[in-house]
Amino acid sequence: MSLVVQKYGGSSLSDAESIKRVARRIVDARKAGHDVCVVVSAMGDTTDDLLDLANEVSPLPPAREMDMLLTAGERISMALVAMAIANLGSTVRSFTGSQAGVITDDTHGKARIIDVTPGRITSAIAEGHIVIVAGFQGVSQGSKEITTLGRGGSDTTAVALAAALDADVCEIYTDVDGVYTADPRIVPAARQIGHISHEEMLELAASGAKILHLRCVEYARRFDMPIHVRSSFSHQEGTWVGGSNPEGDSVEDPIIGGVAHDRSEAKITVVGVPDSPGKASEIFQAVADAQINIDMIVQNVSATETGLTDISFTLPSTDGQTAIQALTRLQEGVGFTQLQYDDQIGKVSLVGAGMRTHPGVSATFFRALAQAGINIEMISTSEIRISVVTRGDQLDEAVRAVHSAFGLDSSQGEAVVYGGTGR
């Protein structure tokens, strides 16, 4: 008998009817012979409603109490899902994150899972129950305080539980059919990906694909846990992330996984930095001290006659103001000329494990952008990814150009230069 971990997000649990629909799905999985452990998010708008209430009573609520408050959301949905399952005649037990053994550090609001001790869950499963677990929450190791995991927390809970329970698969149910070769709202010809590696998914998530959170994919890769991303509104196969390709591995595996884009970043350029050792270090230490994650960095070739250089980097635009303040305090010490801030940028990324062995990929990529008349402002690459920064208003066109150049458009079929992208 196999063990399946399923996770349902808030959009699949928006009201009583959708809860009953999810319950039927869960019971179907049980009746198909699987042991089932289900992780749920809070219903629809519950979390937003609770945040509104919090803001009404306090402009800056303590993080500990915010976690107490928000964890009520998943508690409500897990109990309702359990009730709906019981009403279908199956035996079921719900557990909070704390009861499920999700042990975290003590960083309220964005705790990290440091251990999973699912003793109560394995007992309940052994007794024949379907198990429902509240996602997004845990209990801190030392002080036994209730914590929440922050963005992507419910997906991460599901993968962590799947790993701890040695499940066969972690199914992430959402409101789309799976992972696509590009965002279908921008590229109508985008195709659903049948199978993608953990590494490629990690690069896609890091490059702006929103379907799975980076943390969840990182966790899945670390524990080699296959994820099946699929729609809770249909019974079609979704996208398999990691694990063996259900279509069989073959030399014909696609070179390119997909195209991701990101509109949430801004670019800061520090102009006229003295070209002497230690200056870049001072600049990036100041940004790191402000708890800001930097994405791409470009240092221009020094203009030797002046002894000055320009350093550009991208960062989440929500951190823009903080970064500018931190750098302004540094201006006299470092001796740079000025700061330029630009949030009208976009980033397009091409991800594919096949890049490692196919040297023509970057050439095709840059040619596609050039032919579409798109100027490249910054470039960054990894072993399986190429990303470039463009003007924000050219981003959609850039995504479409790249998607088409690599034969990913559905009208292009499988027989294209670099191969298809799965099923």
- Cα angle, residue 379 at apex, residues 373 and 381 outer, rounded to 5°: 125
The DSSP annotation for 12-67 comes to G-SSHHHHHHHHHHHHHHHHTT-EEEEEE---TTHHHHHHHHHHHH-SS--HHHHH
Alpha carbons 33 and 28: distance in angstroms, whole number: 9
- Interaction residues for its own copies, span 85-124 (CB under 8 A): 86-87, 92-94, 96, 99
Nearest CB to its own copies, comparing residues 61 and 272: 61
Nearest distance from C-beta of residue 79 to its own copies, angstroms: 4
Nearest CB to its own copies, comparing residues 99 and 380: 99
Do residues 187 and 259 lie in contact, with contact meaning Cβ atoms separated by under 8 Å? yes
Strands (E) in 216-327, as ranges, are: 227-231, 239-241, 258-262, 265-274, 297-299, 308-316
403 sits near its own copies (criterion: CB under 8 A) = no
Query: Does 21 show up as a binding residue in the annotation?
Result: no
Q: Pick from 3, 11, 14, 64: which binds its own copies (CB under 8 A)?
A: 64
DSSP alpha helix (H) spans, 88-168: 119-126, 153-164
Nearest CB to its own copies, comparing residues 157 and 314: 157
Q: Pick from 11, 14, 51, 79: which binds its own copies (CB under 8 A)?
A: 79
391 sits near its own copies (criterion: CB under 8 A) = no
Measuring CA to CA, which residue among 297, 250, 260 is closest to residue 384? Answer: 260
**DSSP β-bridge partners for residue 6:** 38, 171
* CB atoms closer than 10 angstroms to residue 241: 30
415 sits near its own copies (criterion: CB under 8 A) = no
Q: Pick from 6, 12, 41, 71: which binds its own copies (CB under 8 A)?
A: 71
Angle of helix 63-87 versus helix 16-31 axis, rounded to 10? 60
Angle of helix 214-222 versus helix 153-164 axis, rounded to 10? 10
Question: Tokens 């012979």 appear where?
Answer: 33
The residue range among 51-59, 161-169, 252-260, 405-413 that interacts with its own copies, by the rule CB under 8 A, is 51-59
Nearest distance from C-beta of residue 109 to its own copies, angstroms: 13
Do residues 194 and 230 lie in contact, with contact meaning Cβ atoms separated by under 8 Å? no
Q: Pick from 19, 187, 345, 355: which binds its own copies (CB under 8 A)?
A: 19
Q: Pick from 4, 23, 36, 286: which binds its own copies (CB under 8 A)?
A: 23
**Length of the chain in terms of residues written:** 423
Query: Does 47 show up as a binding residue in the annotation?
Result: yes
Nearest distance from C-beta of residue 285 to its own copies, angstroms: 33
Q: Pick from 84, 124, 256, 348: which binds its own copies (CB under 8 A)?
A: 84
Nearest CB to its own copies, comparing residues 9 and 320: 9
147 sits near its own copies (criterion: CB under 8 A) = no
Nearest distance from C-beta of residue 152 to its own copies, angstroms: 23
**DSSP β-bridge partners for residue 239:** 229
Query: Does 173 show up as a binding residue in the annotation?
Result: no
Identity of residue 286: A
Nearest distance from C-beta of residue 98 to its own copies, angstroms: 9
CA distance readout (Å), 338 to 64, 139, 149, 308, 315? 40, 46, 38, 12, 18
Q: Pick from 3, 11, 14, 65: which binds its own copies (CB under 8 A)?
A: 65
The residue range among 15-23, 154-162, 175-183, 254-262 that interacts with its own copies, by the rule CB under 8 A, is 15-23
Measuring CA to CA, which residue among 295, 302, 248, 297 is closest to residue 272? Answer: 302
**DSSP β-bridge partners for residue 390:** 346
Q: Pick from 3, 11, 50, 282: which binds its own copies (CB under 8 A)?
A: 50
423 sits near its own copies (criterion: CB under 8 A) = no
Query: Does 180 show up as a binding residue in the annotation?
Result: yes
Question: Tokens 């700061």 appear where?
Answer: 339
Query: Does 166 show up as a binding residue in the annotation?
Result: no
51 sits near its own copies (criterion: CB under 8 A) = no
Nearest CB to its own copies, comparing residues 15 and 247: 15
Do residues 166 and 3 lie in contact, with contact meaning Cβ atoms separated by under 8 Å? yes
Indicate the helix (H) or strand (E) that contains 318: none
Q: Which residues are annotated as a binding site?
A: 7-10, 47, 74, 174-175, 180, 185
Q: Which residues are annotated as a binding site for substrate?
A: 47, 74
Contacts with its own copies, residue ranges (CB under 8 A): 16, 19-20, 23, 50, 53-54, 56-62, 64-66, 68-69, 71-73, 75-76, 78-80, 82-84, 86-87, 92-94, 96, 99, 144
Q: Which residues are annotated as a binding site for ATP?
A: 7-10, 174-175, 180, 185
